[in-house]
Amino acid sequence: MEVLTLPVFASAGAARDFLQCGGAGGDWQVRESTAGELISLMIGHLSHVDRIFLDPVFGVFVGGAEPRIASKQEFVAVLMGERLAPPRAERLDLSV
């Protein structure tokens, strides 16, 4: 089973560049959306999306850096203006 990851861009220009480089294939088009529209899509029609690929650059990972990917829950929380809890640090037990 394959998990669907949806690309989301900060600007229309970045999205167009991605499509022109063959980043999505098919008949994808650039469309600006409001936060409300994205939230509605994530909860409704795109409920099967698990992760959001933020500002992907087709075929390029600068300096070996990992792509920025957010879970759908994190992405929707940010769109709704909620503060995300910082990741919990794991405690190491160094006692002998």
Range of the domain at 29: 4-69
CA nearest neighbour of 9 among 55, 49, 53, 42: 55
Return d(Cα 7, Cα 55) in angstroms, integer: 7
The answer to whether residue 55 sits within a structural domain is yes
The answer to whether residue 82 sits within a structural domain is no
Q: What is the pTM of this model?
A: 0.65
The pLDDT of residue 58: 61
Whether residue 23 contacts residue 7, with contact meaning beta carbons closer than 8 Å, is answered with yes
Residue 85 has pLDDT above 80, yes or no: no
The pLDDT of residue 17: 85
Distances (CA, A) of 73 to 17, 24, 34, 51, 62: 27, 23, 17, 9, 26
The answer to whether residue 41 sits within a structural domain is yes
| Residue of higher predicted confidence among 40 and 82 | 40
What's the total number of domains in the chain? 1
The answer to whether residue 90 sits within a structural domain is no
| Poorest-pLDDT segment among 17-21, 24-28, 48-52 | 24-28
The answer to whether residue 39 sits within a structural domain is yes
Residue 78 has pLDDT above 70, yes or no: yes
The answer to whether residue 47 sits within a structural domain is yes
The answer to whether residue 93 sits within a structural domain is no
